[in-house]
Structure 1
Amino acid sequence: MDSSSDKNNMDASSDGNVSFWPDIFDPRNWDALDSKTIDILVENGPKRDLTIKKGRKDKNKRCFSSIFYTRVLPNGEKCDRDWLVYSRELDKVFCFCCKLFRKGHGKGHLPSEGFNDWAHISIRIREHETSAEHVLNMVTWYDLRLRLQKHQTINCVAQRQLEKEKDHWRKVLFRILLMVKFLAKHNLAFRGTNSTLYQDNNGNFLGLVEMLAEFDPIIQEHVRRITNNETHVHYLGHGIQNELIHLLASAIKSEIIKKIKEAKYFSIILDCSPDASHQEQMSLIIRYFNASSTFVSIEESFLGFLDVNDTTGQGLFDVLQEELRNLDLDIDDVRGQSYDNGANMKGKNNGVQRKLLDKNPRAFYS
């Protein structure tokens, strides 16, 4: 092999399926290979360190020599023994194809633990390369390599089927995401009193799924699998709905924060009110200059409700300051503040207005 094998080794090693091996081209790691790793080895062939001309000398002053890589035919023609691999670490030679494709233990040491009897290496190599088992493994190697290069392996067929299935689920999730986006945008309830397809009172979300299944082949196939119990993973439950709502909300909030940072300066609008469980909550709205669209405009964006346990001016200000820090917004960039008529909000001495002005005198109150 030429120096390009180093690149192949790097590419193969970076593959997520074979990253377990420190070096898949090292014969020490060829005893328990998965099919994916074998495919990589077959397609790229064995790796040789061509800088090694001779190996370590044994007690008889004999050693491996690179001349063993070449076979001289009876007519004087020379050919490469591409199946022969030398391991510097083990100081042994191996048969590449027999090591990968042998059935059982194999005959001799070349297909198994390696051979290092340098006094008899020439004889052993000649015996091995003419054996029926070696010839069969060579044919298996070359045939598989050819099919891999032409993408005609059984694994390739399975891979295409896998890609087809992945594409199906990708399209299913895309449609589910659009349904969640539609219901959230129009402020519609997702769930009813029933959570089963084609049952009464199962809510708007499952109703949309049933409607799409009338004409959309992707959802139609998805519903067929569910109703025929071919899959128990359907992504139609309340858990995935809540997760997608959260992901959409996070994406929208990120875009709003991006616009605010581009504008740099902004104003805050706060209001407090208890919810149904009597937990005091403070709504946070940010007013900013939007220059990202074609028409320059002033926008106000609601960024969420903040739980409040301390309703004093200092407590409310602490909640606001912490939220701005979480949103990665600088409190020194606040140029306006607006609240309701509560004393703990607009108070000139101890209200949020005063606490913010002490921190940032440029935050004009209205």
Structure 2
Amino acid sequence: MTKTHYSYRKHLPIRYTYYSIDDPPFKHPEYSPKISIPSIQDHDIPSETVEPSSSINPEYHEVDNISEPIISDDPAKWIVNNTTIDNLLQRGIKQNANADFSLSKRVICNQVRSMSKSLFTRTLKNGDTQLRSWLVYSESKLCVFCAPCLLFDKESQSAFKNGLNDWNNIHKRVQDHENSFQDQRLQRKQKTDCFDLNKQIETEVEYWRNVLKRVVVVIKNLSSRGLPFRGSDERFGSLHNGNYMMLLEIIAEFDPFLAEHIKSYGNKGKGSVSYLSSTICDEFIQIMSAELLKKIIAEVKEAKYYSMSADSTPDISHIDQLTFILRYITKGGVPKERFIKFIPNCGHKSENLFDALINILNELDLNVNNCRGQSYDNASNMSGAYSGLQARIKAVNPLADFIPCSAHSLNLVGTYAAECCTIATNFFSLIQKLYNFFSASPGRWNILMSRLSCQVTLKSLFETRWSARHDAVNALCLSWNEILSALEDISEDTREKALTTSEASGILTNLNSLEYCFLALLWNDILDRFNKVSKILQSTNTDLPTVVELYQSLIKYIESMRTNFENYEKQAIEKSKIKEYACNIVRHRKRKIHFDDELNENDLNPLSGSDNMRINVFYVILDLLLADLNRRNKCYVDLNNKFGFLTSLHELSPEMITTKALKLQSYYPDDLEISLDIECRHLAAHLKSLNIGKMSALKLCEKLHDEHFVILYPNVNIALRIYLCMMVTNCSGERTFSVLQRVKNHLRNSQTNERLNALSLLCIEAELNRDMDYNHIIDEFAIKKARKVHL
């Protein structure tokens, strides 16, 4: 009868099989330790396992939810069986050399004798000392034992096997025993068998670790790109086994080790061990995502100060997913924005969003009082000043300043300006209608492409990023005459359907006017600047002073455009070859004037086409852009004024630095010390001595860390970390939605939210995923999967 149990060995679950207690394994003529990796899919105890008899009642304790016997350090309490032997071989035998030997005193021949610590060492002829590793002291029985005799010699009746306390002759008895043939044989046997067993175990463990390394590298590469894993079956050699098995097959073509492993274990089916199944793959995905999240949270806690952002979108299964992003400054002064998780169906009401964010912060063990900023879009449930999400967060932590998403605000500026007058609204509608007309038919698209002199083709309007409409307007400006020519040919083609020719004729009539050509040139310049600024605002490295600077630059640019009406009009006439506005060509209907009507100046002297375009369109668009830019920039300027002086210390007088530093310190009394004033004045003198002019907050923070000046200016460093951790845009959250569409598409829409979060995290944070250590992941897998079944 055999007895099987599992044990930890070199971080992999190993299964040992020994013979029964009545036939010790090290004496059995056919002894050969059987070692195998337990099946991960089979969590049941093997049928051949024998439970311990009722006469044996070892103590047990839980280690990682695994029941493990407690083997005493006292040899008198050992229950000699395979479990005890294996446990002692792995952990080593404690000699108890530091026990209280005074309790072992005995009166022998009118003399008091006791155990001595010197008994654990022997002195050789040349004076060297040698440890008697076989000798063990029992504190309960107050005697010494020979560990090899006690564990391995069943037949011997040696006194050292039952315990010896003859302290009067103990030294001679010990010398005689260690020089005896029987004892030396047992010690050699113990060492030889342990060495052979350990060597075999290490060889087996190394084999399976090599298999798991190849599994991990496949999972890391597939998950970092958001690719699907599983196919319609799970058999090697099938054309439908999915990307996971396909990559293992590709590696096996150039890797004889994996090829032989797949040949031996690949398609054996359920119940056999291969570590290549989808179950193992899923477990590794969860372990890797948990380790990656643990690393991110550790960085956030090390940084202490952070900002958060949240946004939501429905996925392919119509489940509303709220993305949660954290921004913090690393130890080296570099800003990072990290994805944490998707929260499903938390609702759109501000109180529901608040509960969801607070719960996740508690779950991650992050203190909400360390939050210094929050950034959302301009929806009322998010940005509401009284009951919005930002107001509820500020009620808990008043230092969590709300910063509207700068990129989203810039989109709204353009949207409102485009809707300020009818002709501007119709202009963008006509561009989308033009694209839809040509893209609806390959024949029409070929006609258009045959006439284009440049490679820029018509583009559709963007709904999410309004500033990206520049691509559509720019394509129209570059190919104005070619597009009109294509429309004209289609409208005059008798082979086309009447509906097609009518539609082409209508678009041509509307587009072929001086007004629309003027608007195309005007919006092309505006959107070009808006698009470039929007791309910078979406960067992770963009900070608050950069937002203020970019908004100010747009304001100055729009102001300078107000004097360029004649220039735009001249360019429109040259491009369209039309010299009159439509309002000048069409006869105006004269309104009958009644005796009680109030006449205005336009009724008496109607505006010309040029004046109407300048006053009612050109100035209206630009003035609305200016007003909205100034209004939305005000919140960024107010917040930037708290910290802005840190980037211009060289320009300020000591009195001004003191005033601003004390004001900032009073706003963050629990974070900044009163010595901030002294540090700022010292830093100003320091920068002047180095002839360093104005420096951005990010560069200044990096310099403090690179030059090891953090110790010299600790409060300035804290102020910069708070300043830079403030999130000025939630574009990182928007980008996670692109990954959500890839990870959970129409072919993968049944996965659980736990798996969705794991795959999304590994894909979004692909840089951290790529740098994870193989061995550490395998060790974590082994700790979770190792288990024991006791004799």
Aligned to 2:194: 155
Alignment of 1:100-111 (within 5 A): 110=159
Aligned to 2:232: 193
CA distance in 2, matches of 1:197, 1:163: 29
CA distance in 2, matches of 1:21, 1:185: 45
Aligned residue type for 2:365: D
Moved more, 259-268 or 90-99: 90-99
Distance of aligned partners of 1:215 and 1:357 in 2 relative to their CA distance in 1, 3 Å threshold: same
Q: Deviations over 1:16-62 (max 9, x none)?
A: 9x9844235x456475575557879x9999989987897478xxx99
CA distance in 1, matches of 2:143, 2:370: 71
Question: Residue 206 of structure 1: SS of its match in structure 2?
Answer: helix
Question: Residue 184 of structure 1: SS of its match in structure 2?
Answer: helix
Report the Cα offset of residue 272 of structure 1.
1.8
Question: Residue 210 of structure 2: SS of its match in structure 1?
Answer: helix
Q: Deviations over 1:81-138 (max 9, x none)?
A: x99999786688988876666555x67x95886799x9xxx9xx99xxx9xxx99x94
RMSD after superposition: 4.7
Which of 204, 210, 216 is the equivalent residue of 1:165? Answer: 204
CA distance in 1, matches of 2:141, 2:366: 60
Distance of aligned partners of 1:110 and 1:64 in 2 relative to their CA distance in 1, 3 Å threshold: farther
User: Could you tell me whether the CA contact under 8 Å between 2:307 and 2:373 is conserved in 1?
Assistant: yes
Which of 206, 216, 221 is the equivalent residue of 1:177? Answer: 216
CA distance in 2, matches of 1:324, 1:45: 49
CA distance in 2, matches of 1:297, 1:30: 59
Moved more, 46-55 or 328-337: 46-55
1:143 and 2:185 are equivalent in the alignment: yes
Aligned to 2:73: 23
User: Could you tell me whether the CA contact under 8 Å between 2:251 and 2:258 is conserved in 1?
Assistant: yes
CA distance in 1, matches of 2:286, 2:88: 43
Aligned residue type for 1:346: S
Distance of aligned partners of 1:93 and 1:348 in 2 relative to their CA distance in 1, 3 Å threshold: closer
Which of 365, 374, 377 is the equivalent residue of 1:340? Answer: 377
CA distance in 1, matches of 2:141, 2:274: 52
Q: Deviations over 1:257-313 (max 9, x none)?
A: 333344433332211223344433211122333453xxx544322211113444321
CA distance in 2, matches of 1:316, 1:278: 18
Report the Cα offset of residue 323 of structure 1.
1.3
Q: Deviations over 1:313-340 (max 9, x none)?
A: 1111111122122223332333332223
Report the Cα offset of residue 193 of structure 1.
0.7
User: Could you tell me whether the CA contact under 8 Å between 1:308 and 1:319 is conserved in 2?
Assistant: no
Distance of aligned partners of 1:145 and 1:286 in 2 relative to their CA distance in 1, 3 Å threshold: same
Alignment of 1:216-365 (within 5 A): 216-227=255-266, 229=268, 232-290=272-330, 292=332, 297-362=334-399, 363-365=401-403
CA distance in 2, matches of 1:45, 1:289: 52
User: Could you tell me whether the CA contact under 8 Å between 2:104 and 2:143 is conserved in 1?
Assistant: no
CA distance in 1, matches of 2:311, 2:111: 86
Distance of aligned partners of 1:272 and 1:87 in 2 relative to their CA distance in 1, 3 Å threshold: closer
User: Could you tell me whether the CA contact under 8 Å between 1:30 and 1:99 is conserved in 2?
Assistant: no
Distance of aligned partners of 1:348 and 1:95 in 2 relative to their CA distance in 1, 3 Å threshold: closer
Segments of structure 2 that go 5 or more residues without pairing to the other structure are: 1-62, 120-131, 405-791
Question: Residue 213 of structure 1: SS of its match in structure 2?
Answer: helix
Question: Residue 326 of structure 2: SS of its match in structure 1?
Answer: strand
Distance of aligned partners of 1:315 and 1:88 in 2 relative to their CA distance in 1, 3 Å threshold: closer
Report the Cα offset of residue 250 of structure 1.
2.2
CA distance in 2, matches of 1:338, 1:96: 68
Aligned to 1:79: none
User: Could you tell me whether the CA contact under 8 Å between 2:236 and 2:249 is conserved in 1?
Assistant: yes
Aligned residue type for 2:354: F
CA distance in 1, matches of 2:224, 2:247: 15
CA distance in 2, matches of 1:62, 1:31: 38
Moved more, 180-189 or 215-224: 215-224
Question: Residue 253 of structure 2: SS of its match in structure 1?
Answer: coil
TM-score by length of 2: 0.33
User: Could you tell me whether the CA contact under 8 Å between 2:150 and 2:161 is conserved in 1?
Assistant: yes
Segments of structure 1 that go 5 or more residues without pairing to the other structure are: 1-15, 70-81
CA distance in 1, matches of 2:135, 2:358: 70
Distance of aligned partners of 1:89 and 1:229 in 2 relative to their CA distance in 1, 3 Å threshold: same
Aligned to 1:7: none
Higher helix fraction (1 or 2): 2
Distance of aligned partners of 1:216 and 1:279 in 2 relative to their CA distance in 1, 3 Å threshold: same
Question: Residue 355 of structure 1: SS of its match in structure 2?
Answer: helix
Larger gyration radius, structure 1 or structure 2: 2
Report the Cα offset of residue 356 of structure 1.
1.8
Report the Cα offset of residue 205 of structure 1.
0.7
Aligned to 1:208: 247
CA distance in 1, matches of 2:135, 2:311: 79
Distance of aligned partners of 1:32 and 1:280 in 2 relative to their CA distance in 1, 3 Å threshold: closer
User: Could you tell me whether the CA contact under 8 Å between 2:96 and 2:138 is conserved in 1?
Assistant: no
Report the Cα offset of residue 248 of structure 1.
2.0
CA distance in 2, matches of 1:260, 1:91: 55
CA distance in 1, matches of 2:268, 2:381: 58
Aligned residue type for 2:184: Y
Report the Cα offset of residue 188 of structure 1.
0.9
Question: Residue 299 of structure 2: SS of its match in structure 1?
Answer: helix
Distance of aligned partners of 1:215 and 1:280 in 2 relative to their CA distance in 1, 3 Å threshold: same
Distance of aligned partners of 1:90 and 1:287 in 2 relative to their CA distance in 1, 3 Å threshold: closer
Aligned to 2:464: none
Matched residues, percent identical? 32
Distance of aligned partners of 1:94 and 1:290 in 2 relative to their CA distance in 1, 3 Å threshold: closer
Q: Deviations over 1:335-364 (max 9, x none)?
A: 332223433222222211221232333312
Report the Cα offset of residue 157 of structure 1.
1.9
Aligned residue type for 2:258: I
Moved more, 229-238 or 167-176: 229-238
User: Could you tell me whether the CA contact under 8 Å between 1:197 and 1:210 is conserved in 2?
Assistant: yes
Distance of aligned partners of 1:323 and 1:28 in 2 relative to their CA distance in 1, 3 Å threshold: closer
Aligned residue type for 2:257: I
CA distance in 2, matches of 1:290, 1:86: 54
